[in-house]
Structure 1
């Protein structure tokens, strides 16, 4: 299907991939997306939709704090991905353009700060335990880019 850019809506989203090592075990910071009543819950990367009047960097910092309680300094672009679908809240098609950045935690403490949002909690999940867990495709995109860069 081919459409001009004026024929569809666009949703910009930015996420971080934070991986560390504790006691010789690599783990990734993930946010538990609750499905918002229309999908099954699953792990996702911390981040989300960029508001109309904010930069991608500012939106990323805001979203990560809301979902994890951590303040971050965004780093380099690690990966990008997109998908298209029909809108749930409007009639028509949309393109979800997603960017994944490296980042550094600069403060805060683990704990979801948003109230009645799409994220129920965040956790450091060992990579060895991630297999078989319900997770968003963006998690796999980010981890593949991270592994390729190592």
Structure 2
């Protein structure tokens, strides 16, 4: 399929851990059910990938972060029947995942956004959560799985 025949969504996510073995997750509310995800999301047209992830983390968690290494890039295809916007077109999701650390701010929950809550969760408890695939991908890329 030619690239003009499908949509592409560029997103960026942060894997943020603390010294006690916890990872910062956000509760995503836009799917068919609420699921945990890494803080992050769609990169705006005027932003770099790095600017997008820093903004998204701030919106979803209240934290200011400093980015570390690019952990990797993940892609997958969403069929037209699974699109949330009803466009009828398939979409290729391109997700850049970064290591990051908190440098300021205060844990707060996003209001009127794509997430309801941000929480530090033990890496060992993540396997028991209802979560989106980017959580496992990010933890694996960060060497935490």
TM-score normalized by structure 2?
0.90
Tell me by how many angstroms 1:68 deviates.
0.5
Q: Secondary structure at the match of 1:103?
A: strand
1:70 to 37, 40, 63: 63
Spell out the pairing of 1:4-15 with structure 2 (5 A cutoff): 4-15=2-13
**Counterpart position of 2:15:** 17
Equivalent of 2:24 in 13, 26, 29: 29
- Give, in angstroms, the shift of residue 77 of structure 1: 0.7
**Counterpart-to-counterpart distance in 1, 2:113 and 2:84:** 17
Deviations 1:45-87 (A, max 9, x none): 0000011121111111110000000011222111221111123
Deviant stretches of 4+, over 2 Å = none
Matched residues in 1 for 2:18 and 2:131: separation? 19
What are the ranges of 5 or more consecutive residues in structure 2 without an aligned counterpart? none
Q: How many equivalent residue pairs?
A: 141
Distance in 1 of aligned mates of 2:142 and 2:111: 31
Match of 2:93 in 1: 96
Check conservation: 1:79, 1:141, Cα contact below 8 A.
no
Residue 101 of structure 1, CA deviation: 0.2
What is the TM-score normalised by the length of structure 1?
0.87
CA RMSD of superposed structures (Å): 1.6
**Contact 2:6/2:91, CA 8 A, preserved across alignment:** yes
Distance 2:16 2:111 in 1: 23
Q: 5+ unaligned residues in a row in structure 1: which ranges? A: none
